Structure 1
């Protein structure tokens, strides 16, 4: 790992539906892999086919997520997977309404806060 390097805030922004197809994404929340049973390299080796745009992975502690806001929660749905709940959806296109702009600002805030608490893991992709 390169010391001091952090993931981008976009890594922690929950995507809304695709504008072109309407495909729903991140419906259950922001998807995360629970690292207590696998190494970072095992996560990449096992999940790479499921992640179309995998650029890398990062680690964030559950307590760090919870420290950002009491509105965030981590809900496990499988032994090695969970979703971060409570993050606003971010539309694909820049928002034009006041409500959309406010939701985007909130999503950017959460993205910055979570990214500042996470660390990148350097693994072979």
Structure 2
């Protein structure tokens, strides 16, 4: 976007996660396809954002399916750990770094100097 703020991450990630969940549902005989789709949604969104609580809460609120609370939480934690193995820095932090550098004139990870004490 013109503002430089990332947008459009939630819906596409949820859609891709749902698609992946539907594709692997056949591997889990006896498990309802809808449950595997929801787990896929949480796992993919968590992998993209590295925000397991946000991902879990979004899907839980969308579905109001309280029977899947524990499986969704477990999927979010596993996806978060796996994502951090691939890329230690979260997406929002990586996207915010150039904006912070542009606004402050120093790298986002540089220590802040508050002047004389």
TM-score, normalized by length of structure 2? 0.28
Answer 1 or 2: which has greater helix percent.
2
Give the number of the structure whose alpha-carbon radius of gyration is greater: 2
Higher RCO structure (Cα 8 Å, ≥6 apart)? 1
